């Protein structure tokens, strides 16, 4: 029994010190990563389906009452969640959230409805990427007022860069 404790301590010390990472190991891993990144067979992000979908997003500056608004156009479809019916698609829609997960988009849509935005819906791109729409308008001036209202008194904390105006290119699901 006397010999077991020192042997255990020695074994533990060897195990801990033998796994120590050195600067040389870091440098080797870094150089291997850099060599892989320069591989000419790699496909750039723009060449993937996701890159092509994001390239589909078009930015159009519009002057409304002396202010320049960036209106983004993108092909979208409706989701059945949060009031997703074709009548809710308007030419100017206020995007309050962007998500890769439908669950998160649905959650924000419900929070918007609970905080005074009964017209909140969720639309998605072909990527899929989900936009949470706070409200939609037929007139750009109304959309401008809505953007300023949300910026001045957001219903809750919004991510940086939000809200923005979407001019949807609506595609009916097949």
CA 71, distance to chain mean position in Å, is 18
Q: Delimit the domains of the chain by residue range.
A: 4-37, 49-170
Residue 81 pLDDT class (50, 70, 90 cuts): low
Residue-level pLDDT at 94: 97
Instruction: Answer yes or no: are the C-beta atoms of 97 and 131 closer than 8 Å.
Output: yes
Residue-level pLDDT at 99: 94
End-to-end Cα separation, the chain, in angstroms = 75
Least confident of 15-24, 51-60, 79-88, 106-115: 15-24
pLDDT in tens, 1-58: 566 666 666 665 655 655 556 677 767 777 777 666 555 555 565 555 555 555 567 8
Average the pLDDT over 112-125 and give the result: 93
pLDDT in tens, 152-163: 999 999 999 999
Residue 79 pLDDT class (50, 70, 90 cuts): confident
Judge residue 158's burial from the number of C-beta atoms within 10 Å of its C-beta, 0-12 exposed, 13-18 middle, 19 or more buried. middle
Of the chain, the percentage scoring pLDDT greater than 70 comes to 70
Residue-level pLDDT at 5: 61
Average the pLDDT over 96-103 and give the result: 94
Give the CATH superfamily of 49-170: Sporulation related repeat (3.30.70.1070)
Residue-level pLDDT at 65: 86
Alpha carbon distances (Å) from 95 to 9, 10, 26, 124, 136? 60, 61, 43, 12, 9
Mean pLDDT of the chain, nearest integer: 81
Residue-level pLDDT at 95: 97
Write down the pTM of the prediction: 0.68
Residue 137 pLDDT class (50, 70, 90 cuts): very high
Alpha carbon distances (Å) from 72 to 65, 99, 127, 146, 157? 19, 17, 16, 16, 22
Residue-level pLDDT at 35: 67
């Amino acid at each position: 029994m006397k010999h077991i404790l020192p042997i255990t301590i020695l074994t533990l010390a060897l195990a801990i010190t033998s796994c120590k990472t050195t600067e040389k190991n870091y440098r080797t891993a870094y150089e291997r990563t850099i060599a892989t990144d320069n591989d000419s067979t790699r496909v750039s992000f723009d060449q993937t389906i996701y890159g092509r979908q994001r390239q589909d997003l078009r930015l159009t500056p519009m002057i409304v009452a002396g202010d320049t608004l960036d209106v983004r156009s993108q092909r979208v479809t409706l989701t059945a969640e949060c009031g997703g019916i074709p009548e809710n698609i308007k030419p100017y829609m206020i995007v309050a959230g962007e998500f890769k997960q439908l669950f998160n988009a649905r959650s924000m849509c419900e929070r918007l409805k609970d905080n005074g935005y009964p017209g909140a819906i969720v639309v998605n791109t072909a990527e899929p990427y989900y936009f949470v729409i706070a409200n939609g308008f037929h007139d750009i001036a109304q959309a401008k007022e809505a953007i300023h209202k949300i910026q001045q008194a957001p219903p809750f904390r919004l991510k940086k860069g939000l809200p923005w105006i979407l001019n949807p290119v609506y595609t009916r699901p097949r």
